[in-house]
Amino acid sequence: MTLRHLKIFSTVCQENCNTTRAAEKLHMTQPAISLAIKELEEYYSVVLFDRVGRRLHLTEAGNQLLQYATSISALFTEMEDCLLDWRNSAKLRVGASVTIGSLFLPFYVKSFLEIHPNADIRVLVAPSMELEEKILTGDLDFALTEGTVHHSNLHTESYLEDYLTIICAADRGYHHGQVLTQAEFKKQRILLREQGSGTRDLFDHVTEAAGFSISPTWEAISTTALLHAAMNGLGMAVLPHCLVSRPIEEGKVVAIKVEGLTFRRTFSIVYHPSKYLTNMAKEFISLCREYEEDYPIPHFQ
């Protein structure tokens, strides 16, 4: 079994288990593709694909091999990139979920560049699920995410506590700190982040545990869009407290509570356990862990 076998197998999977398309992509013959798959199956004494008619379907063993092959290929590519151009070792590929990427990561990066002005930091701000997939494929060195990590084979380290606050416009007839019953809350127009985001995962988990679910009036990937919608009286938004603390202080919105619902969560540093972290990556992670102790707490508009 060689890296060539794994590459052929992964390409067949990527091409929807179509050996003809995989052969075209790899500039090989279709019989050569089939032979490589057969060699893999004989080597491990497993069936990787079920042959149903003229179509292939990935078996459970095949799916297990695909996970390893993806990780091994990503690690091999990373090794080659690093050794072929040693200067790339100064490059950091950092992911952040939308809340962290919008509110905290700019401060982290600015502070880090003051220490390492020549560091090449590449940032991807995206929903948590997308970041996890990028880590698994080796496209990110690590990510800062909110809420639950969905892939159990990723290393997860909590580094900051956070909670969500329900807000609405100050002129909607509710006062700051007012407590609604769950029945009253379910009647409101609710403004939420999109499914797959850490914020939405937490909200859905808490409401489902209380025995109900919410169909939002608004869904948005932008926390700012939801904040402005709430400020303009379009409903109640559920957002990170650090984002809404300033509007609350200024009297633009009021914070509402709901009986029996508490939206607490943690921010996490996530990376693949097989990932080689450079000294620069380790320093950046340490800065995130210790930011609250070493730097002024950021104020958000």
Half-sphere exposure of 105 (CA within 13 A, CB side): 24
pLDDT at 93: 94
Q: Which of 84, 100, 120 delimits the end of a domain?
A: 84
Given a cut of 70, whether residue 86 has pLDDT beyond it is no
**Rounded Cα distance, 6 and 43, in Å:** 12
Q: Contact 258/185 with Cβ under 8 angstroms?
A: yes
H or E segment to which residue 258 belongs: strand 253-258
Closest CA to 274 of 110, 137, 109, 120: 137
Residue 299 in domain: no
Report the CATH number at residue 281.
3.40.190.10
Instruction: Sort 289 into a burial class: Cβ within 10 Å, 0-12 / 13-18 / 19+.
Output: middle
Considering the domain architecture, whether residues 212 and 225 belong to the same structural domain is answered as yes
Considering the domain architecture, whether residues 9 and 136 belong to the same structural domain is answered as no
Average pLDDT over residues 103-113: 92
Q: Give, in order, the Cα–Cα distances in Å from 210 to each of 169, 186, 246, 259, 261.
A: 26, 12, 30, 10, 8
- The token duo for 253 is 């919105």
Report the CATH number at residue 203.
3.40.190.290
Residue 301 in domain: no
Name the CA dihedral angle for 128, 131, 132, 134, rounded to a multiple of 10 degrees: 160
Considering the domain architecture, whether residues 36 and 70 belong to the same structural domain is answered as yes
Residue 300 in domain: no
Q: What is the residue range of 17's domain? A: 3-84
Average pLDDT over residues 224-231: 93
Neighbours of 53 (CB within 10 A): 5
Number of domains in the chain: 3
Residue 23 in domain: yes
H or E segment to which residue 294 belongs: helix 279-294
| End-to-end Cα spacing for the chain | 56
Given a cut of 70, whether residue 294 has pLDDT beyond it is no
Given a cut of 80, whether residue 299 has pLDDT beyond it is no
**Rounded Cα distance, 67 and 86, in Å:** 28
Q: Between 52 and 81, name the one with better pLDDT.
A: 52
Entry pTM: 0.58
pLDDT at 85: 57
Q: Which of 55, 84, 113 delimits the end of a domain?
A: 84
Residue 238 in domain: yes
What letter represents residue 73's amino acid?
S
Considering the domain architecture, whether residues 167 and 257 belong to the same structural domain is answered as yes
Report the CATH number at residue 34.
1.10.10.10
- The token duo for 135 is 């880590």
Q: Contact 226/239 with Cβ under 8 angstroms?
A: yes
pLDDT category of residue 162 using cuts at 50, 70 and 90 = confident
What is the percent of the chain where pLDDT is above 90? 52
Average pLDDT over residues 238-250: 89
Considering the domain architecture, whether residues 30 and 99 belong to the same structural domain is answered as no
Given a cut of 50, whether residue 153 has pLDDT beyond it is yes
Given a cut of 70, whether residue 226 has pLDDT beyond it is yes
pLDDT at 296: 55
Average pLDDT over residues 89-101: 86
**Range with the poorest average pLDDT among 66-80, 117-131, 154-168, 235-249:** 66-80
- The token duo for 251 is 């009297």
pLDDT at 88: 46
Per-chain mean pLDDT for the chain:
88
Considering the domain architecture, whether residues 153 and 271 belong to the same structural domain is answered as yes
